[in-house]
Amino acid sequence: MKLFHHLLSLPTLFFFFFFFFCFLQETVSIGPLQLTHPFDPLTKQEITLIQTIVLNKYPTKTNHVKFHYVGLDDPEKATVLKWVSTGAATTRNAFVIAIINSQVHELTINLRSSRVLSDKIHSGNGFPTLTVDEQSDALQLPFKHGPFVESIKKRGLNLSEVVCSGFTVGWYGETQSNKRVLRIECFMKEETANIYVRPINGITILADLEQMKIIDYHDNAVEPVPKAENTEYRASHLKPPFGPRLHSFASYQPDGSGFTIKGHSVSWANWKFHIGYDVRAGVIISTASIYDPEVHKSRSVLYRGYISELFVPYQDPSEEWYYKTFFDAGEFGFGQSMVSLEPLHDCPPHAQFLDAYVVGRDGSPQLLQNAICVFEQYGGISWRHTETGIPHEDIREVRSDVTLIVRSVVTVGNYDNVLDWEFKTSGSIKPAISLSGMLEIKAVDITHNDEIKSDQHGTLVSEHSIGVYHDHYYIYHLDFDIDGVGNSFVKTDLKTVEVSEQSSKRKSYWTTSSEVVKSESDAKIKLGFSPSELAVVNPNKKTSTGNEVGYRLIPNAAAHPLLTEDDFPQTRGAFTNYNVWVTPYNRTEKWAGGLYVDQSRGDDTLAVWTKQNRGIENKDIVLWYVVGIHHVPCQEDFPIMPLLSTGFELRPTNFFERNPILKTLSPGIVKWPGCKTP
């Protein structure tokens, strides 16, 4: 779970220049521009300004200052909506979490006046997101720690081939206030870049991040290090034959790409939205609205959408594994963990890229090139019908589909999360999550299932290698503004009706009964147990036939937590207790696992907020949706996992008077005779 600085890779450089010279106008990365939207991410200049302001107040000569979070302090929603309608200026404040002389400070800074508006000290439970730099430093400690060097020698391993990785420790009921610590595990990079499948198990190392020293060390048992054979994944290090061979593909958009990006604001087809970036949340979709051909104007759909937290509890209770219950957004920073996308491979041709700025421990801006890509996807069907029912007429109408995809990749150590937001002209938004990367492997002295006598808490995916059971729970923050802020959450149950004798030849049928959910408690839903449709509607806006305009959540198969509710990790990840939650909008309720998640005690989660049981009817509401995956590893996941994908759909439901793309024509799609190999 460790991160290093994001360097600009050679392939990226190559493509960068390739594009620069060939197709400047289209694919050169878009750097920080002037403010075009209240949610534009902090620019390089702004981050530098913030650094200056904080260090002016706390000069490093006399203070020890570390920046743990630097982001936009969300303007009040009313002012943002005013900006959307009138362009009226909003505030431009930054929110900073810094550890200054071992105290956690929360600073709010006005970027226009360069003044510190507030400077509070956080005294509650939990610690801020770890910095990349402090992890890097901590991971060097073992190499200067005698007993560790001994342990490596004892195992007959080459210290120069060892690389270490850091893991947050969670919270297991300790009552005294804890120190900021990091568990460290080490791996062999000998003969492979795939360190995660070559753990040096049996050693436990605990480092204090403030004192930056190892405070606990045990060498418990010598386990064999899994072999490197068949673990390498770099093409440059693999021997032929390669295959299967896939045929190459060239594409061309005669009219250029169908979308434009100004700053971070996107317009495409009937959609307008903003792509934000935050070091903790990663990509944030904001102020998404869609053009309604009936009323000749754009109507608001989604004020903000992003992944608020990712909870990954492993399922091995042993001393070396019990604590592995990670919160990738709150502990490691989803945006901080984003990686540069590879043009042509992570994103198809014609993708446009956005850069982002990560913030170093010292408060300095660090460029993350090609952090986000936006591209059009062809190949589907939008709607169709062949009519064979009208004599002497042959009717076939087919509209091929084009969708717009916003993609980023968050790589937290071993796992790569490919995160898509797909926009459809029909009005649907389809977020998708795909998992790749590596399993976390537990080294065991077992080469075959026949040798297994007790629960290994995972699958023997290769010799000496257990792929440990775990879950992935992503929780989306979906702040709908369906045609305005006054929205309600409506649950429509499908219910069997038994028919009374003689009234029909049928004995039964089903019908619907809709309930406007009044409060937070009633909005907590475990999906999959009874058929229902869930929608966010605007009770103040009705269609001509009297249906409330709305959007429906079409979920995928639901996953429910399997830990007991009173277990410590589950208390911290209590936002997974239900698949769906609805809360009244609150500018400060952004992080379902809490603002301070490292060693949090579950006292600032969505589950706690909703105990207030606030009213949610005809209010500005936020829908929270949990996408869960129980992961029982298999051998195909080893040594690197082919994408495993899931997703869901937010679909307009009586939002439009009728199919909004009835009058959309298929794009020209031709096999291009003008294409010549150079």
3-state secondary structure 322-377: CCCEEEHHHHHCCCCCECCCCECCCECCCCEEEEEEEECCCCCEEEEEEEEEEEEE
265 binds a second copy (CB under 8 A): no
Instruction: By CB under 8 A, name the one of 246, 297, 501, 611 that touches a second copy.
Output: 246
Pick the closer one to a second copy by CB: 124 or 509.
509
Stretch that binds a second copy, among 66-74, 91-99, 202-210, 500-508 (CB under 8 A): 500-508
249 binds a second copy (CB under 8 A): yes
Between the alpha carbon of residue 474 and those of residues 72, 307, 575, the distances in Å are 23, 7, 10
Q: Binding to a second copy (CB under 8 A): which residues in 298-327?
A: 315-319, 322-323
Least Å from the CB of residue 543 to a second copy: 6
251 binds a second copy (CB under 8 A): yes
506 binds a second copy (CB under 8 A): yes
Pick the closer one to a second copy by CB: 88 or 634.
634
Local structure of 273: helix, strand or coil: strand
Q: Distance (Å, rounded) from C-alpha 210 to C-alpha 99?
A: 10
Stretch that binds a second copy, among 78-86, 274-282, 425-433, 590-598 (CB under 8 A): 425-433
Pick the closer one to a second copy by CB: 260 or 521.
260
Q: Which of 367, 271, 297 is nearest to 286 (CA)?
A: 271
Q: Binding to a second copy (CB under 8 A): which residues in 153-212?
A: 163, 165, 172-173, 189, 193, 195
Least Å from the CB of residue 675 to a second copy: 4
Local structure of 35: helix, strand or coil: coil
Catalytic center residues: 328, 415
Q: Distance (Å, rounded) from C-alpha 23 to C-alpha 92?
A: 34
Q: Binding to a second copy (CB under 8 A): which residues in 458-487?
A: 459-463, 469
One-letter amino acid of 155: R
Total number of residues binding a second copy (CB under 8 A)? 199
Least Å from the CB of residue 373 to a second copy: 11
Least Å from the CB of residue 345 to a second copy: 4
Q: Binding to a second copy (CB under 8 A): which residues in 325-354?
A: 339-340, 342, 344-346, 348-350
Instruction: By CB under 8 A, name the one of 40, 185, 376, 481 that touches a second copy.
Output: 376
Least Å from the CB of residue 479 to a second copy: 22
Q: Distance (Å, rounded) from C-alpha 281 to C-alpha 593?
A: 12
Q: Distance (Å, rounded) from C-alpha 444 to C-alpha 457?
A: 11
Long-range contacts of 396-403 (CB under 8 A, 24+ apart): 398/666, 399/661, 399/664, 399/665, 399/666, 400/666, 400/667, 400/669, 401/425, 402/258, 402/269, 402/376, 402/377, 402/378, 402/667, 403/376, 403/377, 403/430
Least Å from the CB of residue 25 to a second copy: 12
Asked if 328 and 499 count as a contact pair (C-beta separation under 8 A), the reply is: no
293 binds a second copy (CB under 8 A): yes
Pick the closer one to a second copy by CB: 41 or 555.
555
Q: Strands 548-554 and 203-208: what pairing? A: unpaired
149 binds a second copy (CB under 8 A): no
Q: Binding to a second copy (CB under 8 A): which residues in 627-656?
A: 630, 632, 634-644, 651-656
DSSP annotation of 112 reads: T
Pick the closer one to a second copy by CB: 584 or 628.
628
